[in-house]
Structures are given as structure tokens and as C-alpha cells.
Amino acid sequence: MTQTSTPAKTPDHWSRTAIASAILAIMGFLSLGLVVGLFLAAAGAVCGHVARYDTSEKEMRGRRLATLGIAVGYFSMLSFPILLSIISLSFPAFSMWQTELNASQREESQARGSSLFLACEAYSRVNRGRYPLEWDDLSGRFIGGKELKDALQSPYEKGQSVAFEIVSHDRPVLDAIADSVIVIQEIAPSDVKEIAVVYADGTVKSIHNPDYQSP
């Protein structure tokens, strides 16, 4: 009489530890930029080893999930010091780039302020020493329309299209105080520490932005 073999019975119950292993390992990988991600990845790997034992000895489902948790957990833990090194090396480079960008933008602001001052002075020479009431009064005769538009434009990302204003002052300005009377002032975003100003003698400097708010 021929004896038929009974197929192996597939386990009915899932290992909760295996499920937790996969979830913790994946969460650890996704949050690897934070220290907590390292602990989650480690917990996922540990749960994975426990789950593999459970699925072997207690005939429970989830062996593949446990293997996934172990693989992702160890990969995340090995990747953490590499990621940390990259971040630590990138931060000084980013800081230097930001410093150079800020310096370049300040220089650009000063150059634009100087161009506007020259146009205003040319206007005053043919208008009895007066400065223009509006920037459009300069367009054409004293400075080209496109050049005026470019000079008024803020060099900052969140800056205004008209980023300079004429400061009211008595004319003519005495020579003795010309280096202390501001005639043109920049309007900069609140996250910019310094603004460009032009004094009556043509000197361009950067001073503290009165609207500055620390981010």
C-alpha cells in the first residue's frame, strides 16, 4: 500500500516581532539624519534576530520580514557614521559659501547705491540743487531706463523691485557734514543684517538694518 506524503502546513500566525523589526528598521533608515534613527535601526536589527528564532522554533510567519529588518537595520547603522562625516564636512563649506554670498550681495548693493547717487547728483545740477521726488524722474536723461531698473532691484532673493529710497535732506548739504548726511538708503528684507547707504559726499557704506529680525 502506497503512503501519500502530507504537505507541510503553512504557519498561520505572524510574528509580531518580525513586523516590529521591519517597521523599526525602516523608520530608522528614514530618520537616519537624527540620532534617534540610529537607535531605531539598532532596535530593528535586534528584533529581527529574535523574530528569526521565533519563526524557526515556533513555526510562525514573518521570516522574510525579520531578514528585511536585520538587513535595513545593519545598513542604517553602518551608514550613520558616513552620513555624519558628510554633514560635518559640508557644514563649514556651506557656511563659507553663505558668507561669500552675503559679502557679494553687500558689494552689489553698494554699487547700485553709488550708481543711483551719480544719477541724482546729475539731476540736481540741472534742477537748482534739488534731488528728484521719484526715481522715474531720472529715467532717460540721467540714467538709462533699464540701468535704472537694474540699479533699483534688490540683490537679495526676497528683496523688492524698488529696493532704494531717497532720504529727505536739506539742500545744499554743507561740506562739513556731507559725510554724515544719508541721501539714499537701501530697503532690505528683514533677514539681512546690513543695508547700503549713500552719504551726501558720495561715500557708500553698510550699516545695521533697522528692520533686521534674527531667524
Q: What is the pLDDT of residue 57?
A: 77
Return d(Cα 170, Cα 181) in angstroms, integer.
9
Whole-angstrom distance, CA of residue 24 vs CA of residue 45: 8
pLDDT at 59: 74
The pLDDT score that the predictor gives to residue 10 is 57
Q: In the numeric block, which cell numbers belong to residue 37?
A: 534613527
pLDDT along the chain (215 residues), means of 10: 50 82 92 87 92 81 90 92 83 82 92 96 94 93 94 93 94 93 95 95 95 83
pLDDT of residue 61: 84
- What sign has the CA pseudo-torsion 201, 207, 211, 215? positive
Q: Cα–Cα distances in Å, from 159 out to 10, 58, 163?
A: 67, 66, 7
Rounded to an integer, what is the distance from CA 78 to the centroid of its chain? Answer: 28
Residue 197: per-residue pLDDT = 97
Amino acid in position 109: S
Contact 77, 43 (CB under 8 A): no
CA distance 47 to 75: 15
Question: Which residue type, as a one-letter code, is found at position 111?
Answer: A
